[in-house]
Amino acid sequence: VHDGGELATGECYLAMEFFDGRTLTKLLQAEGWLAAARALAIAAAAQETLFAAHAARVVHRDIKPDNILVGAGDA
């Protein structure tokens, strides 16, 4: 997250880096079942990311396929 705040209208915003990819939900909708090696690679990357977040004392609290991003090169 690069910035965040509240607009004059009362709406909140977050400004984040552009991510070229899609959610795990969209990937699964488009392709169906994934090969085991690919699924494990995505799960391992998600686990590493969560481990780093927890080490920085950040708790996500909403882990689900809609919130797991898969890069265009990984998808």
Active site (annotated) includes residue 66: no
Cα–Cα distance measured from residue 54 to residue 32, given in angstroms and rounded to the nearest whole number:
31
Please report where in the chains the tokens 């392709």 appear, as a residue: 31
**Which among 3, 20, 62, 66 is annotated as catalytic?**
62
Q: Which two tokens stand for residue 54?
A: 């927890």
Cα–Cα distances (Å) from 69 to 5, 9, 12, 36, 54, in that order, read 24, 30, 22, 18, 18
**What positions carry a catalytic annotation?**
62
